[in-house]
Amino acid sequence: MADLSVNLCGIKLRNPTILASGVLGVSGDTMKRVYDIGAGAITLKSITNEARKGHPGPVMLATDHYFMNAVGLSGQGVEGVKDEVKILKDAGVPVIASVFAASFEECGDIAARFESYGVDAIELNISCPNLSAGEKFGVTIGTSCDLTAQNTAAVKKKTSIPLIVKLSPNVTDIVPIAKAAVDAGADMIAAVNTFGPGLKIDIEAARPVLSNKLGGVSGPGILPLALAIIWRLRQAIEVPIIAMGGITKYEDVIEMMMAGADAVAIGTGVYYSGIAIFRELNIGLSDWLDSHGYQSISEIKGLAQKA
Residues placed in the known binding site: 21, 45-46, 69-73, 125, 166, 192-194, 219, 245-246, 267-268
Using CB under 8 A, which residues numbered 226 to 285 contact other proteins?
248, 268, 270-275, 280
Q: How long, in residues, is the chain? A: 307
Known catalytic residues are 128
Nearest Cα neighbor of 73 from 96, 97, 99 is 99
Residues belonging to the binding site for substrate are: 45, 69-73, 125, 193-194
* Only segment of 139-147, 197-205, 233-241, 285-293 that touches other proteins (CB under 8 A): 197-205
For residue 216, state whether it binds other proteins (rule: CB under 8 A). Answer: no
DSSP state of 238: -
Residue with Cβ nearer other proteins (84 or 120): 84
d(CA 171, CA 48): 24
E-only strand ranges, 33-174 = 41-43, 60-62, 67-69, 95-99, 121-125, 163-167
Member of 3, 54, 117, 298 binding other proteins (CB under 8 A):
54
Give the CB-side neighbour count of residue 23, counting CA atoms within 13 A. 26
With a CB cutoff of 8 Å and minimum separation 6, the contacts of 79 are: none
Residue with Cβ nearer other proteins (33 or 86): 33
d(CA 144, CA 131): 16
Using CB under 8 A, which residues numbered 60 to 79 contact other proteins?
60-64, 67, 71, 74-77
For residue 176, state whether it binds other proteins (rule: CB under 8 A). Answer: no
Closest distance between other proteins and the C-beta of residue 183, in Å?
A: 35
Buried b (16+ CB within 10 A) or exposed e, 91-129: eebbbbbbbbbeebebbbbbbbbbbebebbbbbbbbbbb
For residue 14, state whether it binds other proteins (rule: CB under 8 A). Answer: no
Closest distance between other proteins and the C-beta of residue 172, in Å?
A: 31
Residue with Cβ nearer other proteins (29 or 146): 29
Alpha-carbon distances, residue 124 vs 98, 134, 206, 249, 273 (angstroms): 6, 20, 37, 27, 27
For residue 86, state whether it binds other proteins (rule: CB under 8 A). Answer: no
* Only segment of 44-52, 123-131, 157-165, 253-261 that touches other proteins (CB under 8 A): 44-52
Strand, helix or coil for residue 274: coil
d(CA 129, CA 110): 21
Residue with Cβ nearer other proteins (32 or 156): 32
**Contacts to other proteins by CB under 8 A:** 23-27, 29-30, 32-33, 45, 51-54, 56-64, 67, 71, 74-77, 80, 200, 202, 204-205, 207, 209, 211, 220, 248, 268, 270-275, 280
